[in-house]
Structures are given as C-alpha cells and as structure tokens.
Structure 1
Amino acid sequence: MAFGQAKKPPTASAANRVQTANGLLEGGTAASGIREFKGVPFAAPPVGDLRWREPQPVKSWMGIRQARKFGPQAMQLPIYSDMNFRSDGVSEDCLYLNVWTPAKSAQEKLPVLVYFYGGGFIAGDGSEPRYDGESMARRGIVAVTVNYRLGIFGFLAHPELSTESLHKASGNYGFLDQSAALRWVRQNIAAFGGDPKKVTIAGESAGSMSVSAQMASPLSKNLFARAIGESGSMLNTSFGPLPLAEAEKNGSAFAASLGATSLAALRALPAQQLLEAASKPGVPRFAPTIDGYFFTQSPTATFVAGQQARVPLLVGWNSQEMSAPFLLGKEPATPENLRQVVQKLYGDRANEVLKLYPAATAQEAEPSATDLAGDRFIAYSTWKWADMHGQTGGQPVYRYLYARPRPAMTPAMGDAPAAKGATHSAEIEYALGNLATNKVYAWTPDDYKVSETMQIYFANFIKTSNPNGEGLPTWPAAKAGRDAQVLRIDVTTRAEAEQNRARYLLLDQLFAK
C-alpha cells in the first residue's frame, strides 16, 4: 500500500467472520451493531449410531461456514402454546448454539451468558425470541443459547446403552449436550470477544433445573463462574433423577412395546415414530438418571456435601407458579375439596399442611390451593436449591420473588383474564429484555420499567457476581439457614424478609419421608 493511502475498512462479511477451533464462521450484523452467529455446531449430529451416545466432537470444515440462520430444533411435538420458534424445522440433528456479541475483536474479554431453554425436557429451542441474546449483548455481554436433546432422545436409559458406554451409564444425553456446549464455549468464546473465565450459566424451568444439574455434575462444575436459576431445580423434585436401574427398566419396557428387541433395532426406527410412541398416554416420562457418570449421586446429596460448583448464585421463582386445578383437578377450590386433597397427599400430616395453607373459608381456599400447587410444582425445589447452596456453597446467594403479573392481552389475541400473580415463565422476556418480541400482551410503561430493572440486576450479576448497582434498590445476599432477605421484583422493587420459610421447611420434612 502506497505511503499516505488510507487503509480500506473491512468488508461487512470480513467483519462478521470468526475463526473457531473447527473452522471459519460467517455471521451477520443486526441494525444495533451486534454481531450474530446462528446455527453453530458444537457437537456432531447425534444421528444413526450416535443416537443415544455422549455428544461427539464436531468435524472441522474447510472454507467459510455460514452462520446466519438457526439450526433445527430438537425432536419434539408442538406441546406449549407460548413457544414460538425461528428455527429451521425439527430434526435429530439439533446440536447447535447461537452467539450474540457486541465485541469488535477477540481482545475484549467480555462476560458471557449461556442460557438453557425451558420446556419440561420435552420441548423448547434456542431460537425462541424470548431468549434472544441481542438485548443482553447491547449491555456488554456475549450471549449464547444452546440446543440440547429432549424427551426420549435426550433421556432414554436402557441396559444395552449402559453396557456399550465406556462409563457404564445411560440417559442424561440432554445434560451431556449442555456440558459439551460449555466445553465449546471454554474453547471458542474468546474468538467472539468473550472471556471463558467469566461464564454465567442460566435458564428457566427445565433450563433452571439444568443449571442446578450442571452445578452438581463433576463434568461441568469447573466450566462456569456463576449461575442463575429461574423457577426450577433438580433438588427434591418430582422430575427425578431416577436410579439408573429403574430408568433402564422403563427403557426396556418402552423398547419392548415397539417390538424392538435390540438396541440396533431401536436405533433403526425413524425418529418421528419414536417421538410419537414416547408421547402416548401411559408411557413413563424419560427423566434424568443417577447414571454414575454425569450424576455420581443425587443432586441433593451433592449439595448437602458441598461438592457442587462453588459459584455465586442468583435464583428465584414467581408468585403464581401454578394454578389451583393443578392440585384439585376439575373440582372447585372449596375448603372441603382442598382438605380432601391434602388429606390424600399427606395423611396424618394433613393438619400441619393446612395450618400453613389455610382453607377455613372459600376466600382462603383458592389462594391456598394455588400456593400449594405452585410449591409442589416448582417453588419448593427451587427454594431447596437456594437454601442448600447458601449453607454449603461458600458463595453469595441472591434470592428473588418475581411478582409482576403480565398485562392484558392485545385485542388481536383475545380477552383472556389476566392472572392475579406472576405465572410460570412470565419473567423471561422481562429478565432478558425481550418484551417487544412477544406480541401477545399489551405491554405498558410499567412493564418496561420492571424489565429494565430486572435486566440490569441480571447484567450486573453476569459481569461482577453481584446484582447491585447504582440507581437500583439494594439486593442483600440471603443469610444461610434462616429467614432470608428476598428481592420482590415488581413495579416497586424492594428487599423484604422471606415470607414462606415455614411452608418450605414443612415440605422439606415431608419430601424426606
């Protein structure tokens, strides 16, 4: 280049190229200036002989691989009406992640957020707009969403699978996918301007359970520096994990129901046939397992022993995680109906339960049934995680209660009555700054205020391990083993004393029996 001649700026395509360990990627740039890389493979396609195997390394490629559209979503049926995908169809070939980065170079060493989607381990996808990483990236964070195998593809255990495994384990493939993605992040995120030593893992519902699982697993606990859980954990939950022998028995029975007398026969079946068969009524849910490899013992035992990842934790749940019919079925929420259900569930301890979930009048019965339903569904297990980590983790635990009900629906979406409290998953768009992606609700200035507050807390925690910052109400860390301070997030956000510890201590006793 001649002396004095201006250096040409890089072309848009060159500016969007990143060299990973497996090859060169080319993404795109949003109008905000955030660079986006979608559909990035972090493991080999788990198809054919790799169905129900630990994720295998990605094959490297020559030339430039385009990373401008989301990869396929994991095998699943359309189960949840609030899920909205931007992905390229449904496929077993689903092990892709997405990266949003504000960094202009690989030298910036920005904090990293890795987010796992919810969906009961049977649905969900990293392309959902509510998880979009652009808003967090605009706050100086490299954001990543990760796909992982679901349902029968993610959690089938079978004696032949355990026999063929080097670790004599089976099941937990979805969790192993997440762990593989974290290793990919450790190896590659610096190229996107991220700091592999400042990774926060986060998720909601099954994604939150996944965060607690990764904290408990010896395979993952050194791959991240902090953790965020929104409504869900693997401690003391009805979602498992099952003992391996029991999970293998369920897998064998399922295979027999399809006439598949060998693992080879199971692997030869079309993915859609397996998916539909696994979704039929009466088929046991394919739950996580205590496989001796990903989980060496129950997650609760790991946390009790203080053997989990010893990282700062931001964790909480919503004020109305479930509705009364979850507990009462089609029966109305009357004092008599609630007493009958509690009696059936808790026997000679029923009166103790009813003292904490009172139902002397019709006015009390409905909110008490709602509270007990939400606690049994997910609030208690999340409390258990927060409480145990506070006692044995040696790191701060910041607890929240999310209490902002969603507003009314937009006229185009109908006129369903607004919930009295914050329902399960209602906080996601607020926490990640993605209200505008959800066209179902008529968001108000108050909603955007709540979102701004919650997202700043989250962003501060991702950056510094402490959610507090200038202009925010003080969020004290919870004190271990006694009434904790909890941040109540609403239009007026404030710290308050824990309200329901007695409920959770009783449920803790009852769960242990």
Structure 2
Amino acid sequence: MIRSHYRALRHIAFGMTALGLSAAASSAERPSVTAPAGTFEGVTEGSANVFRGISYAEAPTGERRWRPPVPKARASAPVDASEFGPICNQPEFPNVPANIYYEDLPPMSEDCLSLNVWQPENADHAPVFVWIHGGSLLTGAGRFSLYDGTELAKRGVVVVSINYRLGALGFMAHPELSAESPDNASGNYGLLDQIEALRWVERNIAAFGGDSGNVTIAGESAGGLSVMHLLASPLATGLFDRAVMQSAYMVSEPGLRQVLNGHPSAESEGVRIAEAIGAGNLARLREMSAGEITRKSTAAGFQTYFTVDGKIVPAQITDVFDQGAQARVPVLAGFNSGEIRSLRMLLPPAPSGKEEYEARIRNAYGDVADIFLRIYPSERIEQSMLETTRDALYGWTTQRIAEKQEAVGSLAFVYLFDHGYPAADKAGLHAFHGAELPYMFGTIERTAANWPRIPRDRKERALSNAMVDYWTSFARSGEPSSDGNPKWPAFGQSENWMVFDERPHVIEDVMSYRYDLVEHVVCRRRAAGDQQWNWNAGLASPVLPPPVDQCR
C-alpha cells in the first residue's frame, strides 16, 4: 500500500514550464538587484520582474550529503537569474495518461537548493509570500508554472518559491549520520533546507522590495505539511508572520530512535534502506550517485516522513499543537471536497456489498461503529469511502489547526474548495486534490498537459480573481478580503468556513460530527501509542484501541 501510494502520487508539482524572456537579452535590458547575497540579473514578464534559480545553499554533495544546508557565499560577480535551476533528485515515474499531475521532468541535480523571486512593479516594503511545493516529500519543485507568481505579484506581493531535498536524500535518518551530528540526530534535511531558505529571505528580500517583517509561508499537501512543521519547529521561530496550509495532513510520524505510534524508528528504517540498496555504511552511501540512491530507495519502499528528533521536530505534531507550542501567527487553512477522487490509491479495496462494509466497520470501530455508519453509510459505499479518507487526512487537519491556533490567541480562517467545472466533473474529479491551486495562483490557463482543462471564461476568472485577492490580502494584513465578495470571518465559535464553489460564500460548521469522530479515533490511537493515523481510516482501519477517559 505504501509503495503504491508513492508510485502513483505524481504530485501537484508538475505544471508546464513557465515561459521566460530570451536569455540573449542584454544585461542593460534586464532588471538587476544587488542584495547581501550578490547581484542578480533577471527578466521582466508583464508587470513583474522575475529572478530564477538563485542558490541559497551550497550543493549537498559528497561529505555535505545528509548534512544541514550551508549558506551560499556571496556571489563575486553578477549572477544570471533568467533561468530556473535544476530540480532536486526524485523518482522518474512513467507517464500515465490518467495521471493528471504528470509532467516531463527537467534536469535534476543535488545542486538544487535554489529559489525564485517574482518582484512587483515599484515594490517597496511589500508583503512576502513564500511557497513550498507539494509532492509527498518525494517529488516536486518550485519552478513549475502552476506556481507562477505573476498574478500574486500584480497584487503587490513579492513571491518566492523554493526547492528542498526530497526522498531519502532529504529525509533519511541513520545511526552513522546521527553520530557525526553535534545534535546526535539525523533526518529532516529537507525541513532544514526550508528553514535556510527562509533565512535567505530574511537577509535578502528587502533588496527585492519585500518586507522581511511581513512574511507568509504557504504550501499545499506536503507543502502544507511542511508549513505545519515550520510552525512547530523552534528553529523557524521569528522567520515568518503568517501561514497558509492547503490540504495539509497531520499524520503520525516516526521517532528518531524509538518506536513511536506504530512507526519503526527512523534510524532503523535508514539502516534497512542502506542495506536494501547495497550500501553497508555511510561512506559507501556517500560514494553512490544521487540518482542511484533515489531510484533504489524508492524501489525499496522508503517512507518519506519528518522525524520526531526532539530538536528540529520537537514532538509529534499533534502534541506540539496541543501544548500550544507552535508559532502564534494567523493562519489560513482548507481542503477540497473531492481530495481523494484523484488519490484513489489511498483507498482500501472496496467491499462486496453493504453487509461486508458494515461488518468490517463494526469490527474496526466497535463502540463508535454506529456513529461512523451514520456519517459514512453503507447505502453509498463509494462516496462514504472517499469521504472517510478525505476527512481523516484533510478535513480533520484543517479544523484542528484552526481550533489550536485560536486556542493560543491567533486568528484562523478556513475554507472548503467545492468548485467543479465540466472537464473535471466529467472525469469524476470534482474539486480534486490540488484543484484550487490554479485558482489561487491565477494560473488557470497554464495547467499541466493532463490536467482537466479549465474553461477560459468570465466565471472561472472571477472565482480565480477572488481567491487571488483573498490570499494576497491575507499575506498583506493577516485577514483575507476581496472587493465585491463576502467578508471572510475568522473560524471562531460559530465555526465559519468560506466555501468556494460557483462563487465564494460563508457557511458554518462544515465538518460537524465528522471532526468529532476523527478526533476521538486519533485520541484513542495516541493514547494506546501503538497505532499510526493517516489514511488508515474506515475499511483500512485496524481495530480501534479501547476507550479511555481522556478521549470523550
């Protein structure tokens, strides 16, 4: 199941390559910025200047592989920033026509720790929006045109997109790696890359017209998961002022050395992978090519997680938020109604009929099975299965983030994206995972080749314009707004949600009993300490641990 998940999940990171001006343009015609990191010569596209492929850290090769990022030294000569840099090493999956996320991969390299900047016209102390791509921590890049920052820049926001190490190269722990670390820890290198990119922004973004005191971090799917961990990590304290999490998932994660919530330790998984790919020690691992490590570790079923190491990731993410130890900043979070329609590999095999469905649910959920079956009835098995996994991953996470942020005195704004259009609905992909991205980036005309084609009409553009407005105003002030569209109230006691379907509108209590059920189930799993929580919900659920007083 795990391997099929990673094999099929060619994530949202693959759009068509953004068009740029010819590299032959003379430097006299090109925008130039001099920052502490050096002088960068970009290109002008519309009303925005774009600076691509700026290295923020040294290439993590050889002895630097599996070590914290080292800041890039100041460039001694002007840097050509007209072209995107290589993407970080990742699996090359075959092109599956039904895979709407697929796109041909540009060149890969370990020298991939770069970022891209979209600078608004006449920018001066402009809000900054830092985008962290999705891809299950296994695939993706900041360069793809689905994430093009031009439309956000038109609203006066400096947009930054980043690359970070992926898969085993970015997240593998190992006892030898821990032994050479001053903190006696390993793994989480991709998260350290994200933190280093934010430090680069803090030092340099003023030169691009951005305000280093007004930074919003944002991401979708694994990018949203990353944003949650930046909220939770002490190492990221003070590097951002707001956070956006789209389709984030608050799943359980392994401990560095201990078995934690049903996960083998991260170090033991690293030993297993090293042996599986034919490397008996760290020296041999560092001799292997990055491509070989990526291919062989993926084939061996490496599970890409953040690691609870007590320092970078101080505790299980649920515990950090329960303790109120996360960053106390305004958040905007949400999910899509059809998340699992494009992620069916996350679903267990369907039952033969109503009787088998109900029997399996009663066996797994015991004393709360009646509640489960009222919410996810056997009369509509396919829909119930789609909603069960969606709610366990994305819906529950969205509301939990909102409740925990408001508990520490921060504003929280939540949404449900429920918009469909003919090509997506005909394919059974109404409001699928990632469907909101071209709307909130304003890239509805620049989606990947297999993406269900979005109509080029006034209605779709109006919805996109509203979402771009809401997201950029949140980055500017911490409160989302859009002229001519409804006021977006904070979550609050009324549990307000902004729903994006044909147009934006506000309703209350979207998750209702669904949230209460998932919270109860996760609470019992956490209390037992030996069960994971992720997409193992509904028909994929193990037998629920016994009731405990703390889980009411």
TM (norm. structure 2) is 0.83
Matches within 5 A, 1:192-271: 192-233=208-249, 235=250, 237-238=251-252, 240-245=253-258, 246-271=265-290
Matched, 1:89 2:107: yes
Q: 1:18 Cα deviation (Å)? A: 1.1
- State which of 333, 336, 339 in structure 2 corresponds to 1:321: 339
Give 5+ residue unaligned stretches, structure 2: 1-25, 259-264, 525-552
- State which of 12, 15, 20 in structure 1 corresponds to 2:35: 20
Matches within 5 A, 1:146-225: 146-225=162-241
Aligned twin of 1:493: 504
Aligned twin of 1:5: none
Given residue 486 of structure 1, which amino acid in structure 2 is its aligned partner? Answer: W
Alpha-carbon displacement from aligned partner over 1:57-116 (angstroms, at most 9, x marks no partner): 1023221110111111111123484446697501111100000001446xx110110000
Moved more, 253-262 or 334-343: 334-343
Distance 1:305 1:231 in 2: 23
Q: 1:298 Cα deviation (Å)? A: 1.9
Alpha-carbon displacement from aligned partner over 1:171-218 (angstroms, at most 9, x marks no partner): 111111000000000000000000001110001000011111101101
Matched, 1:73 2:87: yes
Residues 435, 327 of structure 1: alpha-carbon distance in 2 compared, 3 angstrom cutoff: closer
Alpha-carbon displacement from aligned partner over 1:440-487 (angstroms, at most 9, x marks no partner): 4042432222111111111111111110243121111011xx550111
Matches within 5 A, 1:33-432: 33-79=47-93, 81-83=99-101, 88-104=106-122, 108-233=124-249, 235=250, 237-238=251-252, 240-245=253-258, 246-280=265-299, 283-323=301-341, 325-326=344-345, 329-331=348-350, 334-343=353-362, 345-359=364-378, 361=379, 364-392=380-408, 394-408=409-423, 417-419=426-428, 421-432=430-441
Distance 1:507 1:200 in 2: 29
Q: 1:222 Cα deviation (Å)? A: 1.0
Give 5+ residue unaligned stretches, structure 1: 1-10, 410-415
Distance 2:111 2:388 in 1: 40
Distance 2:136 2:496 in 1: 29
Given residue 272 of structure 1, which amino acid in structure 2 is its aligned partner? Answer: G
TM (norm. structure 1) is 0.89
Q: 1:168 Cα deviation (Å)? A: 1.4
Distance 1:330 1:25 in 2: 53
Distance 1:59 1:72 in 2: 19
Q: 1:334 Cα deviation (Å)? A: 4.1
Q: 1:344 Cα deviation (Å)? A: 5.1
Given residue 256 of structure 1, which amino acid in structure 2 is its aligned partner? Answer: E
Q: 1:258 Cα deviation (Å)? A: 2.9
Distance 1:167 1:452 in 2: 46
Aligned Cα root-mean-square deviation (Å): 2.2
Given residue 56 of structure 1, which amino acid in structure 2 is its aligned partner? Answer: V
Given residue 521 of structure 2, which amino acid in structure 1 is its aligned partner? Answer: L
Q: 1:297 Cα deviation (Å)? A: 1.7
Aligned pair count reads 484
Distance 1:53 1:12 in 2: 36
Q: 1:347 Cα deviation (Å)? A: 4.1
Distance 2:224 2:28 in 1: 36
Residues 77, 345 of structure 1: alpha-carbon distance in 2 compared, 3 angstrom cutoff: farther
Residues 250, 457 of structure 1: alpha-carbon distance in 2 compared, 3 angstrom cutoff: same
Distance 2:149 2:321 in 1: 30
Residue identity (%):
36
Alpha-carbon displacement from aligned partner over 1:238-268 (angstroms, at most 9, x marks no partner): 5x25444400011011112233222111111
Given residue 511 of structure 2, which amino acid in structure 1 is its aligned partner? Answer: N
Residues 342, 242 of structure 1: alpha-carbon distance in 2 compared, 3 angstrom cutoff: farther
Given residue 507 of structure 2, which amino acid in structure 1 is its aligned partner? Answer: E
Alpha-carbon displacement from aligned partner over 1:474-502 (angstroms, at most 9, x marks no partner): 111011xx550111112132110113221
